[in-house]
Each structure stands twice: as structure tokens, then as C-alpha cells.
């Protein structure tokens, strides 16, 4: 049976998704986290982990149950995404002089494509713009007429902020613009990109109530001349007929009330619409242009003039910004700082090549939802020199992504890779991907590191040992101040803050490797289209 999923269903899904972030972090609500991961993506020693040519091109993520474990095993750290980090977004269309913009119409479809973009839907057309002051405008009329049925070039940037549709400049380009909203400075920082701009967080709040309250259901804003006709004159009485003039008060007929248009006649043809009284309640409408008395003047008989009345969206222009502009995309924003002293969950000096979004991960122990602002998915070891070495941790280096091992029993060795090494605190964070495919010495086993006073190999110039006396602690003194480690250590070992394989990974994006350094910050902007 022929069927469709409508655009309104897509908008509803986006709305439901955004609403699921409201009250995030409270009992009974969802928690969402963005994450960075997949260090050293070119490491082919690890089964199902790396590719030697990663980045040339970047491989597509794989959506399969077995991949979820790989995503988790290579996850570095997470950051909570709150309701203030989520917005519905629309394509960014900067106003540019000389562009023919498409106008709002309610009847674009596969049999009536948009004139410029040839889209089968309104939402695929260029019918709104962003001006240089971050105001968003709807194109109510693009100057379309019988000579230019697809519209004219826009030559004046709209700048007004009044609630009624208005011209830009002197109006010579024929455009009529409806001001909708202004993007706030905070939303500019988070959600404006070269490709997208945000819709308001809540339509009808203090900043947008004026526009929403001005909307009138079924109010006609636009009438288009499709055919100019011929033979039209204005009867001034006493046998005087004029071929040029304006007739006002021509009724808009349909199922609404109070609508009328004013028509300019020149050379016995209909040449322009000089005014529209919108009325209310119209879901269908037309203009009957026939002889009669209107506005104190009499229209003599002519033939051939045709008009198109543009029906507004439900509630009127400005009533529902998400429906009117097609809010079926959602952007999620995360900013990863670079100060590991203030945010110890983040690591420096290593790559990431994957970003993602996870819903409702759990705390490492127990069944409670993770509720930290930031969290690490890495295990960590507090290291110290062997008492006989005479070294300090600041004299030793563990290179990111280098192999480390620890004897944890008879014929048993833990194997991992360095995620980060902080010589000031003596904390080594590590990851253990699934399967060490070429490291047959370890028989593909994945044993965990433990709090034993044994060497962690891979150090230069020599190995350090686990500080088993570092117990029930999460800070160390460095340079006269206590530095938060972000994790609690027992017997020199700390578990991740996240229970592996918990929650649902709902978005994954592979990237060319990016190395985190102290001189940069990462802004992650995820766009999901419903």
C-alpha cells in the first residue's frame, strides 16, 4: 500500500528527542554524554581496532552489535550534554544581494517543485534568510509577477524587527519579509556553524513572545498576480474611464473572513498588488476580479486577470517556528577544555579519531545512571620509582599509545596501551582494546592491571612500579597545591567512572586523527537529522 512518513513526523521526533534532555540528571530522567575516543587509529596490532590507512579515507562507522564493544573499549572520556547544549537547527542561508529567494508556499510537492532548488518540499527550498545581525526572516513575497513568475533578485537586506511583514530598503525588488527571531549571543557561540543556525530553545518565551502572539490563524499575507489580463479600466463617472489607477477592497473569497486586496492597474492591465488585508480563518481562498464597485471606485469589465492566494501555515506566520521552518534536525554541543588540572578526566598528548553520543551509561559500580559532568572511561595506575632507583616520576616517560605490561600471576600478563602519562602526578591512564591480534605471546587474553608492587614495563629510562600505598585517595600535592586526579585510587589502581558496555551508543562519527594538546580546545557539534 502506498504510504509516506510525513515531515511533521520528523519534526515530532526531533521535538521528542530535545524534550528528553529537559531536567537531565534528575531522578527518572535520561542522561546523555558525548565522548571522544579511538586513540592511535592506525594501530593494526589490535584486532578490529585500527587501520594503517585510517584517514585516507576515514572509514565509515559500522552499525552492528559487536561494534558497540569496540567503541566502548576505545572510549577515552565523556562530557554530559544538558538541555542548554541542545537545539533544533535549520540550514544556514545568509542573505546575499542578487539572489532569487524562494517564497513561502503551502503547495510545493513532487508535481510542483520549488523554482530555484527544484525541491519537492517546502523545507528543501530557500525561503528564509539570516541577515548580518543574526536576525532570521521568512520570505513572504519574492516579487513574483507574470514577467518574473519565479521571483526577482533580492537587492536589499531585511533589517526590521517589527511583527508585520515589511519591505527591505525602498522595496524596489518586490520582496516582503517576515521577521521571526534573533539568535542570542550564547546560541551563536554554541550552535551557529557555516552550515546550520539554531531555532530558539522555546518558541513563545520572553524573547520570542511578541512574534508568536502576533500570529493570526488563517491570515492572508500574500497574493500573487499570475496573469495581468487586459482591457481593465477604472470608471470615474461622467463617462471618464482611466487606464491607470488603484482599486481597493477587492474581497478575498474562501472559508475565512475579512480579507481583501488592493490592485494597481496600468495600461489596462493588472500590474501590482499594493496592499493586502489578511483577515483570518482561511485554509483556502481566491480573488475574483470582476467588474464592480470597490473602495469608492468602479472597475470596468476586463478579461484574463488571475491571482494566487498563498495560504499561511496553521496558526499563521510565526505561530510555530519549528513547523514553519522545518525543525527536524538537532544539534548537540560539547566543549572539551585542555586544563587537566581542572578537568582531570580529559587526557592530553594523545589522538582521538571518533566522537559519539551515548544515552544512559551507568556508574562503574552499581546500577545508578552516570551523573558526572565529565567522566573518564580509562583505568589508571599511580606509579612510583623503585626505591633503589633514585629517580622521580618526572624523570620517567611513558609514550602515548606505547605498549605496557604487568606480571599479574604465574604465566599471566596484563597488556595495555598508554592513554596518557602525567609525570608530575605519577598517574598513567591506559586502555585495553579488544583482542591483541599479533601479540600471540599473550594468547589474546585481556587481563586487567592490578594493585601489585610490580613493574609497569614500557617506561624510559626505566620502568616504574605501582604505588600500592596510594590508597583511598584522589589527589596528590604538586607544586604546593593538591591536584585532583578525577578518580579514586585503591592500592595504586583506579577503575573507570563508567560501567563498560552500559547505556546505548546512538551516534558514532569517525574522524581523521586529532592530537589533543594544551594549546587547543575542541568544540564538538553533532547534527542528527530525523
Tens of pLDDT, residue by residue over 213-251, are 999 999 999 999 999 999 988 887 666 677 788 889 999
Residues 385 and 484 in one domain: yes
User: Residue 267: which domain range?
Assistant: 222-310
**Are 512 and 457 in the same domain?**
no
Residues 340 and 443 reside in one and the same domain: no
What's the CATH number where 366 sits? Answer: 2.60.340.10
Q: Say if 302 falls within a structural domain.
A: yes
Q: Which residue, 525, 506, 505, 494, is CA-closest to 422? A: 494
Q: How many domains does the chain have?
A: 3
Write down the pTM of the prediction.
0.91
Residues 339, 394, single domain; the answer is no
Q: Is 514 helix (H, G, I), strand (E, B) or coil?
A: strand
Residues 6+ apart with CB under 8 A from 525: 190, 191, 193, 331, 332, 333
166 in a structural domain = no
Residues 335 and 288 in one domain: no
Dist CA 183 CA 404 (whole Å): 50
The pLDDT value given to residue 370: 94
Pairwise CA distance, residues 380 & 470, whole Å: 12
Torsion sign over Cα 27, 30, 32, 38: positive
> Is residue 304 located within the same domain as residue 239?
yes
Whether 522 and 474 map to the same domain: the answer is no
- What pLDDT is recorded for position 94? 98
Same domain membership, residue 368 and residue 383:
no
Helix, strand, coil % in the chain, rounded to nearest 5: 10, 40, 50
Phi-psi region of 397 (alpha: psi -120 to 50; beta: other; left: phi over 0): beta
d(CA 145, CA 335): 49
Same domain, yes or no: 447 and 390: yes
Residue 368 and residue 390 in one domain:
no
Q: 358 and 394 in one domain? A: no
pLDDT score of 95 = 98
Residue 113 lies in a domain: no
Point out the residues of the chain with pLDDT beneath 70.
1, 24-28, 47-48, 237-240, 339-342, 435-445
Q: Is residue 70 part of a domain?
A: yes
SS3 67: helix
Assess if residue 179 is contained within a domain. no
Q: Is residue 326 part of a domain?
A: no
Residue 420 near residue 426, CB atoms below 8 Å? no
Question: Does 481 reside within a domain?
Answer: yes
Q: Are residues 435 and 399 in the same domain?
A: yes
DSSP class of residue 394? G
Distant-in-sequence, close-in-space partners of 463: CB < 8 Å, separation ≥ 6: 455, 456, 457
Computed over its alpha carbons, how large is the radius of gyration of the chain? 33
Q: Any residues with CB less than 8 A from the CB of 60 and at least 6 apart, and which?
A: 510
Q: 324 lies in a domain?
A: no
Query: Are the beta carbons of 206 and 161 closer than 8 angstroms?
Result: no
- Which three cell numbers, joined as nine digits, stand for 358? 551515548
Report helix, strand or coil for 368.
coil
Give the containing element (helix H, strand E) for 487. strand 481-489
Amino acid at each position: 500500500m502506498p504510504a509516506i512518513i510525513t515531515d511533521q513526523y520528523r519534526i515530532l521526533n526531533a521535538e521528542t528527542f530535545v524534550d528528553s534532555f529537559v531536567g537531565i540528571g534528575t531522578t527518572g530522567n535520561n542522561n546523555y554524554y558525548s565522548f571522544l575516543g579511538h586513540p592511535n587509529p592506525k594501530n593494526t596490532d589490535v584486532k578490529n581496532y585500527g587501520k594503517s590507512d585510517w584517514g585516507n579515507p576515514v572509514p565509515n562507522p559500522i552499525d552492528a552489535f559487536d561494534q558497540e564493544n569496540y567503541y566502548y573499549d576505545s572510549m577515552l572520556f565523556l562530557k554530559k550534554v544538558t538541555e542548554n547544549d541542545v537545539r533544533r537547527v535549520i540550514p544556514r542561508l545568509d542573505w546575499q544581494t542578487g539572489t532569487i529567494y524562494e517564497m513561502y508556499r503551502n503547495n510545493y510537492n513532487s508535481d510542483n517543485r520549488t523554482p530555484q532548488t527544484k525541491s519537492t518540499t517546502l523545507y528543501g527550498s530557500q525561503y528564509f534568510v539570516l541577515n548580518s545581525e543574526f536576525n532570521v526572516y521568512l520570505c513572504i513575497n519574492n516579487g513574483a509577477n507574470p514577467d518574473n513568475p519565479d521571483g526577482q533578485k533580492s537587492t536589499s537586506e531585511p533589517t526590521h524587527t517589527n511583527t508585520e511583514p515589511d519591505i527591505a530598503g525602498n522595496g524596489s525588488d518586490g520582496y516582503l519579509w517576515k521577521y521571526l527571531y534573533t539568535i542570542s549571543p550564547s546560541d551563536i557561540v554554541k550552535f551557529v556553524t557555516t552550515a546550520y543556525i539554531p531555532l530558539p530553545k522555546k518558541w513563545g518565551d520572553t524573547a520570542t513572545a511578541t512574534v508568536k502572539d502576533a500570529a493570526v490563524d488563517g491570515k492572508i499575507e500574500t497574493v500573487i498576480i499570475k496573469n495581468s489580463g487586459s482591457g481593465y479600466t477604472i470608471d470615474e463617472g461622467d463617462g471618464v474611464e482611466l487606464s491607470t489607477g488603484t482599486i481597493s477592497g477587492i474581497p478575498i473569497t474562501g472559508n475565512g473572513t475579512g480579507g481583501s486586496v488592493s490592485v494597481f492597474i496600468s495600461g489596462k492591465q493588472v500590474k501590482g498588488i499594493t496592499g493586502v488585508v489578511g483577515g483570518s480563518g482561511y485554509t483556502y481562498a481566491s480573488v475574483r476580479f470582476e467588474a464592480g464597485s470597490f473602495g469608492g471606485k468602479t472597475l470596468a469589465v476586463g478579461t484574463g486577470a488571475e491571482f494566487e492566494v498563498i495560504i499561511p501555515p496553521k496558526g499563521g506566520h510565526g505561530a510555530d517556528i519549528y513547523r514553519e521552518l522545518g525543525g527536524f534536525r538537532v544539534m548537540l554541543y560539547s566543549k572539551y577544555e585542555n586544563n587537566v588540572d581542572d578537568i582531570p578526566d580529559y587526557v592530553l598528548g594523545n589522538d582521538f579519531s571518533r566522537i559519539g553520543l551515548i544515552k544512559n551509561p551507568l556508574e562503574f559500580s552499581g546500577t545508578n545512571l552516570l551523573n558526572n559532568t565529565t567522566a573518564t572511561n580509562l583505568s589508571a595506575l599511580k606509579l612510583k620509582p623503585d626505591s633503589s632507583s633514585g629517580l622521580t616520576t618526572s624523570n620517567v616517560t611513558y609514550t602515548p599509545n606505547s605498549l605496557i605490561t604487568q606480571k599479574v600471576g604465574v604465566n599471566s600478563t596484563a597488556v595495555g596501551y598508554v592513554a596518557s602519562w602525567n609525570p608530575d602526578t605519577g598517574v598513567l591512564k591506559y586502555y585495553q582494546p579488544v583482542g591483541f591480534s599479533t601479540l600471540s605471546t599473550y594468547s589474546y587474553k585481556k587481563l586487567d592491571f592490578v594493585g601489585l608492587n610490580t613493574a609497569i614495563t614500557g617506561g624510559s629510562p626505566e620502568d616504574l612500579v605501582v604505588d600500592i600505598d596510594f590508597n583511598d585517595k584522589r589527589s596528590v600535592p604538586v607544586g604546593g597545591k593538591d591536584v585532583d586526579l578525577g578518580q579514586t585510587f585503591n592500592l595504586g589502581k583506579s577503575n573507570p567512572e563508567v560501567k563498560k558496555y552500559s547505556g546505548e551508543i546512538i551516534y558514532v562519527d569517525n574522524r581523521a586523527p586529532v592530537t589533543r594538546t594544551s594549546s587547543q580546545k575542541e568544540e564538538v557539534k553533532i547534527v542528527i537529522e530525523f
